[in-house]
């Protein structure tokens, strides 16, 4: 699909990668951008439509779908990350919290907006994933598990929504220069560059975006004799890291 003239909704659009998506969508000619956030007053970008949305709320998702009936592009960006390994104190609670936002959130939004997208010609969904969808380690273990689940969701939605003509895109990246990755000492990509790379791939009809060199490196390593997921992030030669989506 073409970004120019599209009607987009971006979750978590008040800052970080979500804000970059909203900004780049406008730059690329989107006719309207709904900037969704738990607190719509936190949306300060000019030229967008602030929209109240907590992706953990069924009511908020339904209300957003009722309010934004013209949407043909949904960007599931909202996400959280909690540090620590699977055996760390609080890991179960951290897993529940992150799965609710990072997996159930996009699922909830896809279910709410699938009929809207169908009515508007099919459109597209972009899910912000991570290289942590493919590899794990004690730095962000439960976060990685939630992104693995979101990758499975993305692949399943691509098949289920094909009949109605909805393009489903999975975005994989390493560290992105946002608040979410603030405390990680590793090379980081510009959120605007990640957003533009993703939207360019969307326009080309692609279903998967490897948005930076570290995501391409990890992807190549998935089928190696010693696959990438046998390693921790710290073992990657370029110092790459996890998504800030």
In this structure, what token pair is assigned to residue 26? Answer: 């406008």
On whether the CB atoms of residues 107 and 84 are closer than 8 A, the answer is: no
Interatomic CA distance for residues 210 and 216, integer angstroms: 6
On whether the CB atoms of residues 169 and 158 are closer than 8 A, the answer is: no
Within a 10 A sphere around the Cβ of 165, how many other Cβ atoms?
13
Q: Does the annotation count 34 as an active-site position?
A: no
Identified catalytic residue from 143, 151, 175, 184 = 143
**Alpha helices in 100-168, H assignment, sequence order:** 105-119, 141-160
Q: How many CA atoms lie within 13 A of 210 on its CB side?
A: 9
Give 73's strand partners: 8, 124
Q: Report residue 184 CA to chain centroid gap.
A: 19
On whether the CB atoms of residues 50 and 32 are closer than 8 A, the answer is: no
Residues taking part in catalysis: 143
């Amino acid at each position: 699909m073409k970004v120019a003239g599209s009607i987009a909704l971006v979750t978590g659009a008040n800052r970080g990668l979500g804000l970059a998506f909203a900004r780049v969508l406008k730059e690329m000619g989107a006719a309207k951008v709904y900037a969704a956030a738990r607190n719509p007053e936190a949306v300060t970008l000019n030229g967008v439509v602030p929209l109240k949305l907590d992706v953990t709320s069924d009511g908020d998702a339904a209300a957003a779908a009722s309010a934004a009936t013209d949407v043909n592009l949904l960007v599931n960006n909202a996400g959280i990350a909690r540090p620590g390994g699977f055996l760390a104190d609080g890991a179960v609670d951290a897993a529940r919290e992150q799965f609710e936002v990072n997996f159930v959130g996009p699922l909830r939004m896809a279910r709410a907006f699938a009929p809207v997208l169908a009515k508007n010609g099919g459109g597209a969904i972009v899910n912000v994933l991570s290289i942590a969808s493919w590899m794990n380690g004690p730095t962000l273990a439960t976060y990685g598990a939630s992104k693995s689940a979101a990758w499975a969701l993305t692949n399943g939605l691509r098949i289920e929504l094909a009949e109605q003509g909805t393009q489903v895109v999975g975005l994989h990246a390493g560290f992105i220069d946002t608040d979410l990755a603030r405390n990680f000492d590793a090379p980081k990509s510009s959120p605007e560059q990640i957003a533009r790379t993703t939207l360019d791939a969307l326009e080309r009809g692609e279903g998967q975006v490897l948005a930076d060199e570290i995501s391409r490196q990890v992807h190549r390593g998935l089928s190696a004799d010693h696959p990438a997921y046998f390693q921790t992030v710290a073992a990657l030669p370029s110092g790459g890291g996890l998504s800030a989506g």
